[in-house]
Structure 1
Amino acid sequence: MTTTKLWNRNFSLVILASTMGTIGGIAGGFALAFLVFDETGSTLASALIVAIQLLPFLFIPIVIAPIMDRLPRKTFLVMGDVANSFLIFGMGLWLLFFHFSYIGYLALSLLLACLGSVDELAFTSIYPELIPKGAEQKGYAVSSMLYPVLTVIMTPFAAVLLDTFGVAWILIAQGGLSLLAAITESFIRLDETERHNSAPYSLKAWASDVREAVQYLKKERGLLGLYEYMAVSNGVDTGYSPLLIAFFRTFPGFTAAMYAAFSVVEFIGRSIGSALQYRIKIPDKKKFGFVFFVYQTYSAMDMCLLWLPYPLMLLNRGICGFLGSNSAIIRNAAVQTYIPERLRSRVNAFQGVLVTAGCSVFSLMMGFLGEILDYRWCVTIGGTITLLSGFILILGRQKALRRIYEPGEERSIS
């Protein structure tokens, strides 16, 4: 049995570029979060920044995806990072010589979020083309491990940089890293000659492209069910964050430091899970059953999380991190391979918009529950919602989903 080589030229370049961009993004985001609070003294002002940054992800992907499916995606990826580098670099220069402007930062955050939504869509759509055929699981294991590993490394380092050099110089460095990432991406060799469309692109053609993607998703019940489940589960998970902070702030015997330890053990679990996926390939015929088991186990772990003694809470999060990274890697590899290449940007755009909408709706719902119920019951209710969603949207559409997770396997749960 031959093993497909993963680390070819294109894959190495895209991971190197992603590493540089992620390092800059983590350090810059950390510095800006403190800058906004230091300048305004308001948590609402910080929350408004987050809300502004979320808006473009609701509509930009749908607008740009049909165009991205017709034109070379590498251009979107490279030029997006170039534009991002100039904006971040300019912000750093501004802070060196002028005072911070909250209104100006709101406007710039909106512009950066627009660029980010395009860049994310371009990366998601082009990444499968850069992974050698047969090495998809390993490829997604590497990308899933990148952010948590760099977050743990860079967050304390960013704190030191903030105290030593200040926000402005961190942003200038971030702009430089983003430009280096763009230069690195420009060396990727990808044949996209067929994507050069000489015909003028009209509004009618755009609408036709959107309809084509909608019709595709209507026929793909399994894919649509999976996206709907992700909207629910990601939305509920987003809503947990303020509830957990409130619980650790108000419940006797708990502290903010104990809450911070959640991130550490979850990172350890995710890292082990990603490393396992890199080394071990799960047979196709077992993938659907494994993923469904992970979804339901994760929901059950959420339901009991805040009712456990603290050491078991940490174990709970470590197990969830391990299981979550495994299911995410298998899902990404299976789904991105399954979606037709010519539709990938549009389908990924719909998925992104659906998940963003789910995060908005369910985070508000969980926040409302937190105003009227014990925080422990709120998390239990959230876990119950995702558990039921798993039965309805995943198990209820298992035949269609098996075609995605288990191509060529004609099996069903009796």
Structure 2
Amino acid sequence: MSQGGHVVILGAGHAGGTAAALLRQYGHEGPITLVGDEPIAPYQRPPLSKAWLKGEADAGALALKPLEFYAEAGIDFRPGVRANRITRGPKTVALSDGATLTYDQLILATGARAIALPIPGADLQGVLFLRTAADAEALKAAVGPGKRLAVVGGGYIGLEVAASGRALGAEVVVLEREDRILARVACKVLSDFFQGYHQQHGVAFELGCSVTGFEGEGGRITGVRLADGRVIACDAAVVGVGAHPNDELANDCGLETARGVVVDLDARSVSDPNVFAIGDVAHRPMPIYGERMFRMESVPNALEQAKQAASAITGRPRPPGECPWQWSDQYDLKLQIAGYAFDVDEVLVRGDPTSGKFAVFHLAGNQVQSVEAINAPPEFMMGKQLILNRKPVDKAKLADPAVSMKEVVAQG
């Protein structure tokens, strides 16, 4: 494939920034334009709910590359600008600053945005989200000793915020509409473990509750109203109830979407060979799970798809497939998750949850579909191999911590 075409990347997050760097690393000689709506260079987002909130990192420390890298690499980085319209016929992108770009290949890395609750008081000052560095900065200013923080949503982001809030000395309550935290993303064993651990650190929980509004005075939040009439007093509230892909540009220009831009194994749009979509905005295949396609929100997925797109554009072989994975850090706990629990008929716990070091394996027959590992790197690493290689496993050995994971994999 030609190395001289103009590649335009819309979105300067982890996926977009990595794709720009990889294109140069892989030998692309043509112009590259990286468009991002934030005022700073691409940065790591996972530490926002942890190191940034606790004052242990700033934009410079989290940057994927130093700002000068982009100019030195011949990458035209345009911060603080967003794309307004894609016209696929003439291959143009209209930007918010009035400029128009013409592309040969276009990479959509527009990410996802936090879902806002359509309830009274949602526009009050102190009703916060956590997707960007600006969000993290606003939250950091709102929490501290003597402050009361309400977290709406008991998913991983909400729990990470809760842990950081406690580390900063704030009182924290997690409000979850399901009857357990992590109900949509983890098994009950993990939900019970994390709830207990957070409670040991002073976090309160309200489960099975519905948030109907935010109360305020003078334009600032003072509490969260529940469906049963109670008001949970707070100085700030973080809403963490999921994210929606920023796929409006793709929809408007006629690309196929399914809550994300539908792409193939090269991260190429199934509607247009000159358009790619990577990261949180992509609805992608994962062959180890058959014909399923789904959207993943994780740094490893952003990196993998950046490699796929950059390889396809530069004519390199497609990178080998990976097992999807993600992680969450809370207090002194590291949760590492590999795979997805599709078609599971058995859940197997290896180790003792009360020890703070264990793993939960999700199986379909004798195949591992997913593993959730708490402070258990061998189970995570070997579990990834079992998932990716689709090897059958001896369940008795897998359940026995006295049998090494290497032996489990070798005898699978």
Q: With structure 1 as the length reference, what TM-score do the two structures score?
A: 0.23
Relative contact order (alpha carbons < 8 A, sep ≥ 6): 1 or 2 greater?
Answer: 1
Higher helix share: 1
Q: With structure 2 as the length reference, what TM-score do the two structures score?
A: 0.23
Higher strand share: 2
